[in-house]
Amino acid sequence: MKLLNFSSLLLFTVLGFALAVPVSAHAVLVSSKPAAGTAVAGPEIAILLTFNSRIDAGRSRLILVKPDKSTAPLTLRAQPSPAVLSSIAHGLSAGSYLIRWQVLATDGHITRGELSFRVR
């Protein structure tokens, strides 16, 4: 009987810790268009970044790093959903590009990252 009580206590303790994870979390990029490392046709590229949580588009940004290492901010379009940022990059010639992103999640934390792609 004591073994059963100890096992039950252990199970409830483990479950308690597992369920104590905060509901909100940092925004993590879960998919992108263009996908990281892919080659796409230019000169106009639709950009769509999808995150694992709601983000504040008004306090988020996208920056395009061109093959010559110069940068250009990308204008954000209206959010198609609360976890998505979208934009369009115009006039891209052949070469390697980076999209640097910075988003503010609803948990109040800023996350950053980048993804690379090529224009053929």
DSSP state of 5: H
Three-state secondary structure readout of 46-82: EEEEEECCCEEEEEEEEEEECCCCCEEEECCCCCCCC
Which pLDDT value is given to residue 10? 47
Q: What's the whole-model pTM score?
A: 0.77
**pLDDT beyond 70 at 104:** yes
Per-residue pLDDT of 49-66, as tens digits, reads: 999 999 999 999 999 999
